[in-house]
Chains A and B, each alone.
Chain A
Amino acid sequence: MDKVVFIAMSGARENMLAQQAHANNLANVSTTGFKTDLAQARSMQVFGEGLPTRVYAMTERPATDTTTGTFIQTGRTLDVAIDGGGWLAVIGADGKEAYTRSGELQLNAANQLVTGSGLPVMGNGGIPIAIPAAEKVDIGSDGTITIRPLGEAAAELAVVDRIKLVKLDEQSIYKGVDGLMHVDDGLPQPPDLALKLRSGYLESSNVNAVNELTSIISLSRQFEMNIKMMKTAEDNSTAAAKILQLS
């Protein structure tokens, strides 16, 4: 029997994986600072005896699309969006420096500046930012955090720290299993003092819903074609069996 059915199956199976990647993008269509994952198919040859026809499909994630999402004005001082291609340095769950563009910052009970999901935000000094009790916290366009301490006069402003913004080499970054961006060597990156952020804005997810939906539909058709191939392989094999049938 011809093993064409396995080739078709590999196509269908990898289509399903790609579809999950696109479904994940769509599920995160309203996640602040989310970056679209790309999915592409690659041919994986396994040539054996005879004609070199065995080329299986493989879905892979070649990269993450880091284009900037739309800025949404929220008016909340602790919401920050980064202008241009920079990243916010945070401390991931594994204790290492990781990068995100999700800027829904807040203060936790330990007075630390954390992201919406509770990860401490790194200061330029390489330690997490702590903000003492303040009447008002302002984040400047270069990430400088100015506070008006509780009970102090309007003239008694104090600079606490500066949010660490880094510029990452697009070639060496990848999205880790925690959804944060990491650099290949895992070493903390130096702050880029030229980067700017905007307080009172959030960056929306950069998922293009129409693109993703179109990919899903086209993958679904590809999947059907692969199933059709399997069906054809089955029909062929049934026909062959019939011809050879005795009686």
Chain B
Amino acid sequence: MHGALFVAKTGLSAQDTQLKVISNNLANVSTVGFKKDRAVFEDLLYQVQRQPGADSSEGTQLPTGLQLGNGVRVVGTQKLFQTGEMQVSEEPFDVAINGRGFFQVTMPSGELGYTRNGQFHVNADNELVTTEGYLVEPAITLPAEVQTFTVGVDGTVTAVVAGSATPVQLAQLEIADFVNPAGLQAIGQNLFIETAASGAPQIAVPGEAGTGILRQGMLEGSNVNSVEELVNMITTQRAYEINSKVISTADEMLSYVSQQL
């Protein structure tokens, strides 16, 4: 059949994937701590139809050959870890990381997950948990009658309880850093898990070893730029249309053959 049909088909499916990536980014435009994805395109192998440089006679060579490309594919998606905009929420249980690093969360499976979403809550047992109810690691249990809850820039968690003027130090928050954060696997719920590509987590006290400091009462917004995504969406749509135009042209050519001959 017509080679152009299959080539244009690869174009359509790549643009389809691209649109899915863009729409997922846009859907998460207000997800706290969300990191956007980008589809990476690559041209497929070329087939040598006529070898360039082959001898056309003894002593003469074909100056050019014919190598036909086979289209395009999405070679992968890249997570982009640029920092999102910091939003002031004034909520004592909201903590943002200014710098690299992730909060550690104990997932129901017992494994550790990593997140940049610092929207914490207190559960019925007075433990500090994420919005999903997963325990923050290291586990922090608040005393019963907390009046103020403070997270220092270096991760020290202190609280003032009713009837006492001196604050008590409850725990020390730690953050995990990765050599290659882009290699982390996103598993949804704003969580990432460690992979061979990301390397093992390096646990540090905030502010040490370049891991960034904590900011209480702030949240890191999604790093999706909706204008950028919409522009990408328009170019994706146009690229899709052009490729479908190739398919219809190739189809018309083939139908012309079968009708005329």
Q: Which residues of A contact B (CB under 8 A)?
A: 12, 16-17, 19-32, 34, 37, 39, 58-63, 75-76, 102, 104, 106-109, 111, 116-118, 133, 135, 148, 150-152, 174-179, 209, 212-213, 216-217, 220, 223-224, 227-228, 230-231, 234
In Å, the complex CA distance between A135 and B179 comes to 8
Does B42 count as interface, using CB distance less than 8 angstroms? yes
**Is B208 interfacial (CB-CB < 8 Å)?**
yes
Pairwise interchain contact B42-A26, C-beta atoms closer than 8 A: no
B190 to chain A, nearest CB (A): 21
Query: 11 A-B Cβ contacts within 8 A?
Result: A19-B3, A21-B66, A23-B250, A27-B14, A27-B69, A28-B43, A75-B82, A104-B38, A111-B179, A209-B238, A213-B242
Q: Beyond A24-B71, A27-B10, A152-B210, is A108–B41 a contact (Cβ under 8 Å)?
A: no
Can you list, as one digit per residue, whether each of B227-246 has a CB less than 8 Å from chain A (1) or not (0)? 00000000110110011011
- The smallest beta-carbon distance between A7 and chain B, in angstroms, is 15
Q: Is the CB of B261 within 8 A of A227?
A: yes
Interface string of B63-75 (1 = CB under 8 A from A): 1111111111001
Q: What residue in chain B is nearest A148 (Cβ atoms)?
A: B210
Q: Find out whether the CB atom of A116 lies under 8 angstroms from the CB atom of B197.
A: no
- The reply to whether B7 and A227 form a contact with Cβ atoms under 8 Å apart is no
Please, how many angstroms separate the alpha-carbon atoms of A227 and B255 in the complex?
11
Residue of A nearest to B181 (CB): A107
Query: Are A61 and B78 in contact, CB atoms less than 8 angstroms apart?
Result: no
Report chain A residues within 8 Å CB of B210: 135, 148, 150-152
Given contacts A21-B68, A23-B3, A216-B246, 5 further A-B contacts (CB under 8 A): A21-B69, A30-B18, A61-B68, A108-B197, A178-B45
Please, which residue of chain B has its CB at the minimum distance from the CB of A32? B41
CB pair A34 B66 closer than 8 Å: no
Neighbour of A109 across the interface among B63, B183, B250, B257, CB < 8 A: B183
Chain A's nearest CB lies how many Å from the CB of B122?
A: 33
CA distance in complex: A213, B65 (Å): 23
- Tell me whether B78 and A104 are in contact (CB under 8 A): yes
Q: How far apart sit A27 and B204, CA to CA, in the bound complex (Å)?
A: 46
Known contacts A24-B70, A227-B257, A109 near B199 by CB under 8 Å: yes
Q: Which of A37, A76, A150, A177 contacts B47 (CB 8 A)?
A: A177
Q: Is B260 an interface residue (CB 8 A)?
A: yes
Contact B239 A29 (CB under 8 A): yes
Evaluate contact between A60 and B65: CB separation under 8 angstroms: yes
User: How far in angstroms is the closest Cβ of chain A from B161?
Assistant: 35
A-B residue pairs, 8 tightest by C-beta: A27-B11, A24-B69, A151-B209, A135-B210, A20-B3, A23-B4, A116-B40, A31-B41
Query: What's the least CB distance linking B201 to chain A, in Å?
Result: 12
Residue on A with the closest CB to B212?
A135
Q: State A177–B69 Cα separation when bound (angstroms).
A: 8
B24 within 8 A of A: no
Which of B177, B182, B261 touches A107 (beta carbons < 8 Å)? B182
Q: Is B23 an interface residue (CB 8 A)?
A: no
Q: Which residues of A contact B40 (CB under 8 A)?
A: 32, 104, 116-117
